[in-house]
Structure 1
Amino acid sequence: MAIRRLIDLPHYDTIIRVPHHEITLPVTGDYHLGQTLSLLTMGRGNPCLRHNETQGQLTLNTPRGPVALAATRSGETLRVVVTGSAAEWIEPLLPGLFGLEDDLTGFAPEGRLGRIADELAGLRLPRLPAVFDRLVQIVLQQLIQFRDACRGWRLLVHRYGEEVPHSGGLYYAPTAETLAGLAVYQLMECDILPKHARVILTLAKQAAALERLWESGADPAARERLCEHLLRQPGVGPWTVGYLRGAGLGDADALVLGDYGHPHHVAYFFTGKERSDDDEMQQLLAPYAPHRYRVLSLLILGTPPPPRRGPRRASQRDRFR
């Protein structure tokens, strides 16, 4: 299934008017840039990420400073233009960031799931070289509708972030240092809930330590150290950490527990039941370890959810668009 064109990028080439690094990454097999970047989205108006089927622009705050990335898929290569103070630091981490190091070994589903996997064969799980920006985005999504989380993110970035020169409206997210200097009421002015604001401000003060724990994902044990640390923080639970693991840390086997819609969606696909719970979801996904988050992503992107009952709640399908 070809993902629909999300947004035109008329300013794509303007980002290279400033000093930059240009890197060409080899692409082998099926790979879809748009599908891959959709796993990092915060709505169509995300000021830090925009993409279509073959092009993408995104920004990151890293331990070495901010970077802006402009990527183009062409044939068997991915051309990436990198600007910013962390350009040299991030260069060896780009394959992980764009999902090119995602390992599908042993993933060969059959039947209906196999057909969906074939339709979305270009989907890869990104592994971000820095985690704080993504962690803020995920905290904002806790227990609220996705559109409200996206609105808070947009307002926060536009008020406290910085526009990338010559980019046509692409923004760097506010740095951890900037956020750590704010008060709860200042985040609330961006339509952010007080409980989310308090968690974000607490994590902002720990951002340097979080990035050291992550170590750009180079050490396989780093993900476990980071996640164990996060689970000890007030306001950070299994849902936040599971979502971060799958949609940020490149963990193909991540489980997102405590989500309103995931168990229903998984059960509806495998059994036809419209309602389920975390226990049944884990049972249904167990045969697909170590690719349980990959299966969840395929189901959310490639299959219809169960019929709605009552008021609409936050949808992971929305989070991928």
Structure 2
Amino acid sequence: MTRQAAVAIALPAGFRPGDILAFHRRDTQELAERVTGDSLCKGLLWDGIPACLNVRFADGVASAEIVLDAEPARDLEPRFGTMVRRMLGLDQTVEAFEERFRDDPGIGSLISAQKGLRVPVTTTPFEALSWAVTGQQICVAAAVSLRRRLIVAAGIRHRSGMLCYPDAGGLAHLAEDDLRAAGFSTAKARTLLTLARRVGVGELPLDAWAETASIEEIRSRLLAVRGVGPWTVDYVLLRGFGWLDGSLHGDVAVRRGLQALQGTEGRVGEAEAKEWLARYAPWRALVAAHLWAAGKAAAY
């Protein structure tokens, strides 16, 4: 028995569906995500059940449907609508940001060129967390390849044929040797398994945090895990929770984007980037996303 839900959401004027689709177009092999024209098809786990999400953009509306391979234990509809809104960045205060800084000498040109930019958010905070760990200190192409191998190693498939990005339970069933065989370093493999197991037993209640926890609680609890540093936490807060004020000064692409924006020859250091980003609180991570987009690294 399958279970499904659907929602249609009116999009704000100037909404940029291409940004959302580009984020999910990272892997050209399309094992777990497939982007066709104005539509996204994505395999995921919903309460541990293989599911297929379809989102289509047309005429100012996002039409989303999810099909589960079994009946979930909890209500589907309200949570599904909330997830889609978060994925599309519809609760992000980009209008207030643009109004505040549209004439700013530092980033006014970015805002003008990329008006309406929102940050695509992963379907679950755990997907963002595991993706952030996967991408630590490697280029995007290498991270995408590792991510693909992780999905294949988990081997969870929806009846549509799409592979599903593993949740904490699906990842925790893997052994360290499985992750090493997929190309992960020992340190990353151990960090991923530690995180998956702690999420599984409720020590890191990521989904509940998305609704109730303070940013500082999330930050302190994640930083207590070996292998999780400030960049990883700020990235997860952005991609997993839609929080727009993490200081991603440690991000190489952000510093490269700042160098290009300023037109300087020397590399921008972390301290300089941190000081520059500070003036744009509480939207520092949104500024980082603008720098990614300007440098064609938005899919990261």
The question of 1:21 aligning with 2:11 is answered: no
The question of 1:30 aligning with 2:14 is answered: yes
Distance 1:188 1:249 in 2: 29
| Letter in structure 2 aligned against 1:237 | G
Distance 2:84 2:204 in 1: 17
What does residue 154 of structure 2 align with? 160
RMSD: 2.6
| Letter in structure 2 aligned against 1:156 | L
| Letter in structure 2 aligned against 1:71 | V
Q: Which runs of 4+ in 1 moved over 6 A?
A: none
What does residue 95 of structure 1 align with? 85
Q: 2:240 aligns with which of 241, 244, 248?
A: 248
Deviation at 1:179, TM superposition (A): 2.4
Identity of aligned residues (%): 23
Q: 1:288 aligns with which of 277, 280, 286?
A: 280
Deviation at 1:211, TM superposition (A): 5.9
Q: 1:217 aligns with which of 197, 210, 214?
A: 210
Q: 2:51 aligns with which of 62, 67, 70?
A: 67
Q: 2:181 aligns with which of 189, 205, 226?
A: 189
| Letter in structure 2 aligned against 1:56 | L
Contact 2:50 2:158 (8 Å CA) reproduced: no
Residues 31-70 of structure 1: pairs in structure 2 closer than 5 A: 31-39=15-23, 42-45=26-29, 47-51=31-35, 54-63=38-47, 65-70=49-54
Q: CA separation of 1:59/1:236 partners in 2, compared to 1, >3 Å: closer, same or farther?
A: same
Contact 1:39 1:125 (8 Å CA) reproduced: no
Gaps of 5+ in 1: 1-17, 305-316
Q: Normalised by the size of structure 2, how large is the TM-score?
A: 0.84
Deviation at 1:19, TM superposition (A): 4.8
Contact 2:127 2:240 (8 Å CA) reproduced: no
Distance 1:122 1:47 in 2: 30
Aligned residues: 288
Q: Normalised by the size of structure 1, how large is the TM-score?
A: 0.79
* Post-superposition CA distance 1:293-318 (Å, at most 9, x none): 111111221247xxxxxxxxxxxx2x
Distance 1:165 1:71 in 2: 18
* Post-superposition CA distance 1:164-188 (Å, at most 9, x none): 222xx53212332232232211111
What does residue 62 of structure 2 align with? 78
Contact 1:36 1:123 (8 Å CA) reproduced: no
* Post-superposition CA distance 1:270-307 (Å, at most 9, x none): 35243011111022222222111111111221247xxx
Equivalent residue of 1:255, what SS? coil
Equivalent residue of 1:178, what SS? helix
What does residue 300 of structure 1 align with? 292
Deviation at 1:214, TM superposition (A): 4.2
Deviation at 1:246, TM superposition (A): 1.8
Contact 2:9 2:62 (8 Å CA) reproduced: yes
Distance 2:206 2:239 in 1: 18
What does residue 205 of structure 1 align with? 197
Distance 1:19 1:213 in 2: 24
Contact 1:161 1:175 (8 Å CA) reproduced: no
Q: Which moved more, 1:235-244 or 1:263-272?
A: 263-272
Equivalent residue of 1:275, what SS? coil
